[in-house]
Amino acid sequence: MTEGAARDTLRCAADDAASWKGNRMLPLEGIKILDLSRLAPGPFCSMLLGDMGADVLLIEAPADGKLTPIGMPGGDAERARAYNSLSRNKRSIVLNLRDAEARDIFYKLAATADVVLEGFRPGVVKRLGVDYDTLRERNPRIVYCSLSGYGQTGPYSQMVGHDINYISVGGALGMIGWPGQPPTIPMNVIADFAGGGLHAAYGIMVALLARERTGRGQYVDIAMSDGVMYLLASLTGSVLMGGASPGRGTTILNGSVPHYNVYECADGGWVSIGSLEPHFWVNLCKAMGREDFIPHQWDGARREEISQYLRDQFKMKTRDEWFAILQQTDICAAPIYSLEEAMNDPHNRARDMVVDVEHPTLGKVPHVGVGTKLSDTPGSVRTTSPSPGQHTDDVLSALGYDATAVAALRERGVVA
């Protein structure tokens, strides 16, 4: 097989790309990504890029076969993979990168790749021989993204951590919760997924755009702690010029005022109220039968009186009854859903935030939809998660290895 033919083959997924996308072009079609990441932030990053059409090849390590995706129930590995959104739209090869032959295979893949994504602690890829400096000698156009907790530099770079730690150092956790209470621990959305995976996908896309202008790839250093602080940009200015840091439940956006708050209802459900603008506040007061409150939206002396009245009133009806009443007028209100309720909400369904994808044995499997809506080249969910090493033979064949050579590599534990 010629080098050009191998390159063309590697830029296509193992299945027929035309059957995935119909007649519409995918925005990242032709972008080839080698994904070395393991835990949630990296797979979310490559999921975002894969949803937009990138050819994502998972470079997986040999395993004992007992692991299931994070957040998925154990027992039925095939079913768990089918419902694992983070690995959809991807292919998989198992390479033992501690083996020189496996690294040689990786180098061949990297020679025609656009992006390498890794999520190890700083220094690991250097020890494995698959770091940026090594790869850019073979492919100067490579965009190499390292996604870690604290980044590749700085005194914390070698510290271990998880979302709860990154939102602590980044300044977010200290402002979440109620006055006088311990900080409230959110799900791992802020650091892992927003400050990590989403931030990394943004960095990769910016680097790819820069490559179109310079002809050169570059290194992208993403720290989840950086990403958390970046997300707080709207708050940093006032602190940097000498203002106080936002405390738990002390600002208008984290629970200090009655018109931007949450209220329990008769059935134990909750509603959120966000009537910041004066006209929305007027409508809320009218709906709650207390027009006399209208002049006192920002009156600190009457704040507790208003809050108590709203708490009492919301307990008079169920959550859904209140939502039906409040959505009839311009009032910033919404029911507080469980994730199951959110996935069944008619608005979210109308926005295609739950879609079906075909699985070879399970039939139609529901997945979360693509959040980024493009009018001309929309992303899509085309395949469910691959089994580890599912595409090993296809990938090696495209590199020029025949069946005998692949069998020998597998026998030696180079691939699986």
Percent above pLDDT 70 for the chain = 92
- In this prediction, residue 175 carries a pLDDT of 96
11 versus 62: the higher-pLDDT residue is 62
**Rounded CA gap, 176 and 311, in Å?**
21
- In this prediction, residue 2 carries a pLDDT of 46
Where in the sequence numbering do the catalytic residues fall? 162, 192
Q: Is the pLDDT of residue 5 over 70?
A: no
Contact criterion met (CB below 8 Å) for 384 and 359: yes
Among 62-66, 149-153, 355-359, the minimum mean pLDDT is found in 62-66
**Rounded CA gap, 101 and 104, in Å?**
5
Average pLDDT for 384-403: 96
Ranges of H-type helices in 241-318: 278-287, 303-314
Cα–Cα distances in Å, from 28 out to 25, 50, 208? 9, 8, 11
- In this prediction, residue 118 carries a pLDDT of 98
Q: Is the pLDDT of residue 296 over 50?
A: yes
- In this prediction, residue 14 carries a pLDDT of 37
- In this prediction, residue 23 carries a pLDDT of 63
**Phi, psi for residue 95 in degrees, rounded to 5:** -125, 135
Query: 3-231+353-411 and 260-336 share one CATH topology?
Result: no
- In this prediction, residue 64 carries a pLDDT of 54
**Rounded CA gap, 279 and 331, in Å?**
9
- In this prediction, residue 24 carries a pLDDT of 78
Average pLDDT, the chain: 92
Strand partners, 61: none
Contact criterion met (CB below 8 Å) for 67 and 58: no
Top-level class of domain 260-336: alpha beta
**Rounded CA gap, 297 and 193, in Å?**
35
DSSP 3-state of 19: helix
Q: State how beta strands 32-35 and 333-335 pair.
A: unpaired
Contact criterion met (CB below 8 Å) for 311 and 265: no
Cα–Cα distances in Å, from 372 out to 30, 51, 52, 120, 369? 19, 10, 9, 28, 9
CB atoms within 10 A of CB 321: 14
Name the band, by pLDDT with cuts 50, 70 and 90, for residue 9: very low
Ranges of H-type helices in 119-186: 124-128, 132-138, 163-169
pLDDT in tens, 36-90: 999 999 999 999 999 999 999 999 999 754 334 444 555 588 999 999 999 999 9
Q: At what angle do helices 224-231 and 233-240 cross, to 10 degrees?
A: 80
Average pLDDT for 234-249: 95
Among 58-72, 107-121, 273-287, the minimum mean pLDDT is found in 58-72
Q: Is the pLDDT of residue 386 over 90?
A: yes
| Token pair of 107 as six digits | 């180098």
- In this prediction, residue 15 carries a pLDDT of 44
All structural domains of the chain with their residue ranges:
3-231+353-411, 260-336
Cα–Cα distances in Å, from 379 out to 24, 26, 142, 145, 187? 10, 6, 23, 22, 26
pLDDT in tens, 157-195: 999 999 999 999 999 999 999 999 999 999 999 999 999
Percent above pLDDT 90 for the chain = 89
Type of residue numbered 357: V
- Report residue 100 CA to chain centroid gap: 33
CATH superfamily of 3-231+353-411: Crotonobetainyl-coa:carnitine coa-transferase; domain 1 (3.40.50.10540)
